């Protein structure tokens, strides 16, 4: 992977972290002192995907839904959560005249949330990525392909968040992608 493909995702990690930290310092009236992590959550997220593999247009929109629930609290005031997510990521392919191929990662994950009103968190997940057709550029085959993810996120408020993550498979230098997303829990 070339260095210029890493610069933008690393820059976005910094922006998500520092914007979230700055926004967390603004006093905002909260309707309830209960953390959003103390109850099960559904969430929606939208953003952009930056594809690592050699595809015609490496920047694509993305959207997803998910569900997470708390497994346990930590001694430091944080939490550990278990969740499931489903994302929609269209990927252009040079096969069949630059048609868009639908890829949908379905992942089970563990999330480690830090303490505080606007905590940051890390996620590790494993699952499958469904593809609507073969994509030789990304080494994806029609139907199910293995997938894993690493994610870093920051809460902006009780229910809104931003995150950056990497989703890969057997060959992350070909089938991998970075996503930068904003989300809302409800």
pTM over 0.95: no
98 sits in the region (left: phi over 0; alpha: psi -120 to 50; else beta) called: left
Q: What is the mean pLDDT of each run of 10 residues along the chain (186 residues)?
A: 57 60 51 61 94 85 94 83 93 73 90 86 94 82 90 92 93 89 94
Residues 7-36, buried b or exposed e (16+ Cβ, 10 A)?
Answer: eebeebbeebbeebeebbeeeeeeeeeebb
Query: CB of 113 within 8 A of CB of 81?
Result: yes
Domains in the chain, ordered, with CATH?
4-26+38-185 (2.40.160.20)
* Residue of 135, 108, 125 whose CA lies nearest to 165: 125
């Amino acid at each position: 992977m070339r260095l210029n493909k890493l610069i933008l995702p690393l820059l976005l990690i910094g922006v998500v972290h520092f914007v979230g930290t700055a926004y967390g310092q603004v006093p905002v009236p909260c309707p309830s002192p209960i953390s959003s992590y103390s109850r099960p959550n559904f969430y929606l997220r939208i953003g952009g995907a930056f594809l690592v593999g050699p595809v015609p247009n490496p920047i694509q929109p993305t959207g997803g839904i998910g569900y997470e629930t708390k497994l346990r609290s930590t001694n430091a005031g944080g939490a550990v959560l278990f969740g499931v997510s489903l994302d929609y990521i269209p990927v252009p392919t040079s096969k069949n005249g630059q048609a868009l191929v639908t890829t949908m990662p379905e992942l089970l994950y563990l999330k480690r949330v830090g303490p505080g009103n606007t905590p940051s968190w890390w996620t590790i997940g494993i699952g499958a990525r469904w593809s609507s057709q073969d994509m030789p550029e990304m080494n994806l085959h029609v139907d199910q392909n293995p997938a894993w993810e690493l994610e870093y996120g920051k809460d902006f408020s009780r229910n809104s968040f931003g995150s950056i993550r990497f989703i890969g498979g057997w060959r992350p230098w070909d089938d991998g992608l970075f996503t930068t997303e904003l989300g809302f829990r409800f």
